[in-house]
Amino acid sequence: MGRRPAAVATYCGVCALSVCAAAVGGADPAGVHPEQWPQVRSARPADPQLEARIAALLAHMTLEQKVGQLIQADIGSITPEDLRHYPLGSILNGGDSAPRNDKLAAPSEWLALADRFYDAAVGGPASAGLQPLWGTDAVHGDNNVPGATIFPHNIGLGAAHDSELVRRIGAITALEVRVTGLDWAFAPTVAVARDVRWGRTYESYSEDPQLVRKYAAAMVTGLQGAAGTPRFLDATHVLATPKHFLGDGGTAGIDQGDNRASEQALRDLDSPGYVAAIAAGAQTVMASYSSWQGLKMHGNRALLTLVLKGRMGFDGLALGDWDAHAQLPECTRASCASALNAGIDVLMAPRSWRELFDNTLRQVQAGEIPAARLDDAVRRVLRVKLRAHLDQEGRPSSRPFAGHFALLGSPEHRALARAAVRESLVLLKNRNHLLPLSPRLHVLVAGDAADSLARQSGGWTIDWQGTEPNAAFPHGETIFAAIQHCVSAAGGSATLSPAGEFHPRPDVAIVVFGEHPYAEFKGDVPTLEYSPGDKRDLALLRHLRAADVPVVALFVSGRPLSVNAELNAADAFVAVWLPGLEGGGIADVLFRTAEGRVRYDFRGRLSFSWPSSPRPPAVDGQPGEPPLFPLGYGLRYRDPGDLRQLPES
């Protein structure tokens, strides 16, 4: 394993000695060869003035204040008052956490709570001169806040193949996060999902690393502003967090599982999103729950410290995931020196933050966590805070755009979300050119997902698993409502009957069905067969066809699934993914104008291979079934859309 390259040598000039020693001599014990990984040319040259300010801050910090910077608590378990005594460097709201523990708390309550945390932090003895950061899972818009614009989940954006769209979505998401006074989005997920049985597939843009690479740069630029310009992390932007480092998409469909790829495959398939995100100025990276070759990522010093921070030159902070450190064999939620020593800078300890603080302090005092590692981690946190101008920002509510609640779900923002929906739809079948439809028809809208904002939005929407009723959303248009709006304006009609009952016979039926919301491990499935235990949707499609009603199937899902029987039973079939709140984007494409013009053609192309059977398709040279529709597939209106009869086993 060749000699240590110059970049690592330079990095070692400013890093903890323990790191430098390990970098010498090629292969790390974990079987990693840092010199074979890409070097990143960052848009941010080293800034001696910034480093001097960090050093000055560090010099005045107590050990307690330093340790506090390394710990992140959840707002469900920490009060502003606690911050007067515990100098934590950051807080988060998990997917189920909200002000007053009320998921429907108004946006103004988020901002008021941000002020209370700020006041407590800067007023108390705990302050290290910089207030805490507040991070949130703004993964498809500012999705925890009722009223925010909700964009399609990443899988749909992948099908749009439009980086500029993704950048604009990032910019609007950042602005909406700013309205409620928060600083930090735990996005984008840059996982390259290669087995769609994984419950987080919809958080992945694509199985194609090159598409993920482009989108990672676009989303980081949208959220943070363009690195190297005055807009970077200004008052309209927030910190971005490419996640989950590294290899979460390669765990054979098992959330938090083990990625068995070779080092080369891990590098070539899983890392391009990070390389691009860091080059675009990403300031924080979240580590993965998953393992690589049996070793949990939170303990993988070679990948976190030598590759990410060394070779890739990442000088921001590496954040742990929700209690993920507790999965290291030697750790608990409340104690984990080894994750910090491996290179995690901030441990996400939602509930156990207090005990973790006490234990970490003891471990630093006992030398279990070397002073140099502590200082390196704190420097990284301070660097991110200063780059985010936290020293110049006053109370959250005093910042530009804070409290401008009309920006949440503003007509302009929702228009972009609607455009994103239009671009994300993938037409898989269109027999006899059934689509586009005339808006003068009498349309039956069926299927149990036709009138549900939660179904069309998926997980990470208001709450973690995405289970809120329509009434929880201050605005949004269900797919049925959008169809009804479109046809009634043109002289047609739309009737909703989830079970597909009708009288008299409609001109056409649009059946909206698919997966129910899920997030993370709750969405792992053992087979790609759609709805193995319940064939009611298939029966509904067949029932309508048997009654001579032409059938358009709209498949709502977080991943492609084996739907041969449903494809056979429908005349037209559209993958709509998880479009979010703007059902109007679907009606825009399905219906002509009253004058008969095509309003919008389909533009989406698959960013994931579509399975031909319940077994996963071959992806990236791995063994597997041939796909039914390959990457890049997607019909236009002019294309012949008939599909041969597919095998149903």
Per CB under 6 A, the list member of 202, 292, 464, 555 interacting with ligand BGC is 464
Question: Using CB under 6 A, which of the segments 87-95, 205-213, 228-236, 301-309 binds ligand BGC?
Answer: 87-95
Per CB under 6 A, the list member of 11, 134, 151, 322 interacting with ligand BGC is 322
* Phi and psi at residue 264, to the nearest 5°: -65, -45
Per CB under 6 A, the list member of 110, 186, 473, 555 interacting with ligand BGC is 186
Residue 36 identity (one-letter amino acid): Q
Q: Using CB under 6 A as the criterion, what x/- string covers residues 391-430 for binding ligand BGC?
A: ----------------------------------------
| Distance of closest approach, residue 191 Cβ to ligand BGC, in angstroms | 10
| Distance of closest approach, residue 520 Cβ to ligand BGC, in angstroms | 6
* Phi and psi at residue 529, to the nearest 5°: -65, 130
Binding of residue 455 to ligand BGC (CB under 6 A): no
**Residue linked to tokens 């469909």:** 253
| Distance of closest approach, residue 137 Cβ to ligand BGC, in angstroms | 5
| Distance of closest approach, residue 356 Cβ to ligand BGC, in angstroms | 16
Q: How many CA atoms lie within 13 A of 237 on its CB side?
A: 27
Report CA dihedral (190, 196, 201, 207) to the nearest 10 degrees. Answer: 30
Q: Give me 141's structure tokens.
A: 């818009």
| Distance of closest approach, residue 94 Cβ to ligand BGC, in angstroms | 3
Using the minimum distance from each CB to ligand BGC, give the nearer residue, 468 or 520.
520
Per CB under 6 A, the list member of 197, 243, 296, 354 interacting with ligand BGC is 243
Give the strand pairing for 426-430 and 317-319: unpaired
Using the minimum distance from each CB to ligand BGC, give the nearer residue, 137 or 207.
137
| Distance of closest approach, residue 142 Cβ to ligand BGC, in angstroms | 14
Using the minimum distance from each CB to ligand BGC, give the nearer residue, 186 or 215.
186
| Distance of closest approach, residue 351 Cβ to ligand BGC, in angstroms | 10
Binding of residue 198 to ligand BGC (CB under 6 A): no
| Distance from the Cα of residue 90 to its chain's centroid | 20
- Beta strands per DSSP E along 392-548: 426-430, 442-446, 493-496, 508-514
Residues with Cβ within 8 Å of residue 295, at least 6 apart in sequence = 30
| Distance of closest approach, residue 187 Cβ to ligand BGC, in angstroms | 8
Calculate helix-pair angle for 371-387, 48-59, nearest 10 degrees: 120
Mapped onto helix, strand or coil, the DSSP state of residue 408 is coil
Burial 421-445 (b: 16+ CB within 10 A, else e): bbbbbbbbbbbeebbbbbbbbebbb
Distance CA 409, CA 147 (A): 6
Of residues 150-179, those binding ligand BGC (CB under 6 A)? none
Mapped onto helix, strand or coil, the DSSP state of residue 2 is coil
| Distance of closest approach, residue 257 Cβ to ligand BGC, in angstroms | 13
For the chain, what percentages of helix, strand and coil (3-state, to nearest 5) are there? 40, 15, 50
Question: Using CB under 6 A, which of the segments 93-101, 310-318, 375-383, 445-453 binds ligand BGC?
Answer: 93-101
Residues with Cβ within 8 Å of residue 206, at least 6 apart in sequence = 158, 192, 193, 212, 215, 607, 608
Question: Using CB under 6 A, which of the segments 92-100, 257-265, 380-388, 601-609 binds ligand BGC?
Answer: 92-100
Question: Using CB under 6 A, which of the segments 42-50, 89-97, 159-167, 387-395 binds ligand BGC?
Answer: 89-97
Using the minimum distance from each CB to ligand BGC, give the nearer residue, 66 or 140.
140
Using the minimum distance from each CB to ligand BGC, give the nearer residue, 94 or 583.
94
Distance CA 538, CA 536 (A): 5
Mapped onto helix, strand or coil, the DSSP state of residue 100 is helix
Q: Which of 418, 427, 453, 639 is nearest to 553 (CA)?
A: 427
Per CB under 6 A, the list member of 207, 315, 321, 376 interacting with ligand BGC is 321
Using the minimum distance from each CB to ligand BGC, give the nearer residue, 304 or 421.
304
Binding of residue 94 to ligand BGC (CB under 6 A): yes
Distance CA 541, CA 514 (A): 12
Q: Give me 188's structure tokens.
A: 């984008």
Question: Using CB under 6 A, which of the segments 90-98, 310-318, 378-386, 616-624 binds ligand BGC?
Answer: 90-98
The residue whose Cβ lies closest to ligand BGC is 94
Indicate the burial class of 342 (C-beta count within 10 angstroms; 0-12, 13-18, 19 or more): buried
Using the minimum distance from each CB to ligand BGC, give the nearer residue, 92 or 443.
92
Residue 179 identity (one-letter amino acid): V
Per CB under 6 A, the list member of 96, 109, 115, 507 interacting with ligand BGC is 96
Distance CA 585, CA 52 (A): 51
The answer to whether the beta carbons of residues 199 and 521 sit under 8 Å apart is: yes
Question: Using CB under 6 A, which of the segments 94-102, 441-449, 525-533, 580-588 binds ligand BGC?
Answer: 94-102
Integer CA distances (angstroms), 642 to 428, 571, 645, in order: 9, 8, 9
The catalytic residue positions are: 321, 520
The answer to whether the beta carbons of residues 222 and 255 sit under 8 Å apart is: no
Per CB under 6 A, the list member of 35, 137, 345, 393 interacting with ligand BGC is 137
Distance CA 284, CA 309 (A): 11
Distance CA 320, CA 322 (A): 7
Of residues 562-621, those binding ligand BGC (CB under 6 A)? none
Using the minimum distance from each CB to ligand BGC, give the nearer residue, 47 or 96.
96
Per CB under 6 A, the list member of 34, 68, 80, 95 interacting with ligand BGC is 95
Integer CA distances (angstroms), 287 to 194, 355, 367, 599, in order: 19, 22, 24, 44
Using the minimum distance from each CB to ligand BGC, give the nearer residue, 463 or 571.
463
Of residues 511-540, those binding ligand BGC (CB under 6 A)? 520
| Distance of closest approach, residue 430 Cβ to ligand BGC, in angstroms | 37
Q: What angle do CA 588, 515, 434 make, to 5 degrees?
A: 40
Using the minimum distance from each CB to ligand BGC, give the nearer residue, 199 or 614.
199
Residue 536 identity (one-letter amino acid): R
Number of residues near ligand BGC (by CB under 6 A) = 11
Contacting positions for ligand BGC (CB under 6 A): 92, 94-96, 137, 186, 243, 321-322, 464, 520
